[in-house]
Amino acid sequence: MNETNSSGGDETRRKYVFVGGSPRSGTSLLGRNIARMENCSGLENTGVFEDEGQFLQDVYPTASAYGGSSRCGFDPRMHRTESSELLAPAKVARLRAAWHSYWDNSKSIFVEKTPENFLMTRFLQTAFSNSYFVVLRRHPVPVSMAGQRWTSNITSLNRMFQHWLHCYRLFEEDKEHLKHVYELSYEDYVENPDKYHEEIAAFIGTRLPEPPKEDRFRLVLQWRRPSLRVPDRAMEGPGTTHNKRYFDRWSYLLTKSPLKAYYRFIARKYEPEFARYGYSLIEGFAVNREIVEADSNLSALIGPVYCAGADLAALVRRSAVRTRGAVRRGLRALVPEFVRNRVRQARQDSETVRTTRGVHASIVAAGPNQPVVPRTNR
């Protein structure tokens, strides 16, 4: 942690870069890479999930307070603008101090990544002068299916698609008020990361770092997974196969699932809207458009029933998961503190050994100067 007083330094030369986009769209990877650029500092070694700034402050509620990352955008309170009451001077000062206590204040470009930043760009622009926004988009199928892995906030694909569209519509409206904004798609970034690193560096007024001859690694806390070990200075390369498994699953749902009528209904329902962003729920999958459109008249009648049933099933599962979690927390509270501490330490030691072995093996295989490809892209 950097304890330097955030009130020091020339505020006029400082820039603030906020990375956002739908969760599971690659914001974590991109945010870390931007923070590695010259004269940039990101939030590191914070001990919170993905080093996200939302968990390091107490000025505004996190996404989980509004239903979780798969549903929070539907709550009007999540959409924060320059009219927010949270922009009182004392609160802004507290927010800035919270993040500056983790940033390296000898730098002049400060990077913060929280996926939901793209729902609060106007708020952040008001709180942090000289703000720059980098917003990622990713195909709604992998974003939505990956988001369903968070079972405590599980949501039907129907609602996940709605949420994707709703959030990006809000951003489209808000970006007209922004002074500095850069947009890219995850798919383009994966194809040519060097190109987009160069463009983003120019956008925020810096340069790419020289590849280090030697590097150190640090741990980034993951949700219910072993911590991700990432290089301090070397740029991380994005994985190239993350979309495929989700596309294969979506193809199966459209063609072979017992509930394929439901999936075809939502594909038809949202296809025109996703097409505006260059995405399709039909083209490129193992089904042709004629088949999907064939039963449109019948599905128009029973499609809403399918959607209501899917939403109800998600609600039941979400409630069951949360109930089990509450029971576990209650039982855990009965265990003496010293026992909990020993178990926690044993898990951390085991995780450190496991991640160290995995990264050592990848470095040996790839060579010391090759980019390290992470397991996940949030």
Residue 199 DSSP symbol = H
pTM of the entire structure? 0.83
Q: d(Cα 110, Cα 324) in Å, to the nearest integer?
A: 40
Q: d(Cα 102, Cα 113) in Å, to the nearest integer?
A: 13
Structural domains of the chain, ranges and CATH numbers in brackets: 13-231 (3.40.50.300), 242-333 (no CATH)
Question: Please, which pLDDT band fits residue 3 given cuts at 50, 70 and 90?
Answer: very low
pLDDT of residue 365: 44
Residue 22 DSSP symbol = S
Provide the mean pLDDT of the chain: 85
Percent with pLDDT over 70 in the chain: 82
| Residue 87, C-beta contacts closer than 8 angstroms, at least 6 positions apart | 123, 126, 127
Please state the φ and ψ torsions of residue 149, each to the nearest 5 degrees: -70, -20
pLDDT in tens, 151-182: 666 789 999 999 999 999 999 999 999 999 99
Q: d(Cα 203, Cα 198) in Å, to the nearest integer?
A: 9
Q: Which two tokens stand for residue 169?
A: 């519509």
| Residue 78, C-beta contacts closer than 8 angstroms, at least 6 positions apart | 63, 66, 72, 116, 119, 120
Residue 61, CA atoms < 13 Å, CB-side half-sphere: 14
Which H or E run contains 24?
none
pLDDT of residue 61: 96
pLDDT in tens, 306-360: 788 878 877 777 677 657 766 776 777 777 776 667 766 676 666 555 545 554 5
For 334-368, give the secondary structure using H, E and C: CCCHHHHHHHHHHHHHHHHHHHHHHHHHHHHHHCC
- Give the Å distances, CA to CA, from 339 to 201, 336, 351: 48, 5, 18
- Strands (DSSP E) found in the chain: 15-21, 40-42, 109-113, 131-137, 181-185, 217-222, 225-231
Question: Please, which pLDDT band fits residue 9 given cuts at 50, 70 and 90?
Answer: low
**Is the confidence at residue 296, as pLDDT, over 90?**
no
Q: Which two tokens stand for residue 304?
A: 């809403």
Q: d(Cα 33, Cα 4) in Å, to the nearest integer?
A: 23
- Residue tagged 């383009």 (tokens): 188
| Distance, CA of 21 to chain centre | 6
Q: Which residue has the higher pLDDT, 116 or 340?
A: 116
| Residue 47, C-beta contacts closer than 8 angstroms, at least 6 positions apart | 221
| Distance, CA of 90 to chain centre | 28
Q: d(Cα 371, Cα 238) in Å, to the nearest integer?
A: 9
Q: d(Cα 116, Cα 54) in Å, to the nearest integer?
A: 9
**Is the confidence at residue 362, as pLDDT, over 70?**
no
Instruction: State mean pLDDT over 194-199.
Output: 97
Helical H segments across 295-336, by residue range: 296-333
Helix, strand, coil percentages, rounded to 5, for the chain:
55, 10, 35
Q: Are strands 225-231 and 217-222 parallel, antiparallel or unpaired?
A: antiparallel
Instruction: State mean pLDDT over 283-301.
Output: 74
Residue 3 DSSP symbol = -
- 3 state SS of 324: helix
Instruction: State mean pLDDT over 79-90.
Output: 97
Please state the φ and ψ torsions of residue 187, each to the nearest 5 degrees: -65, -45
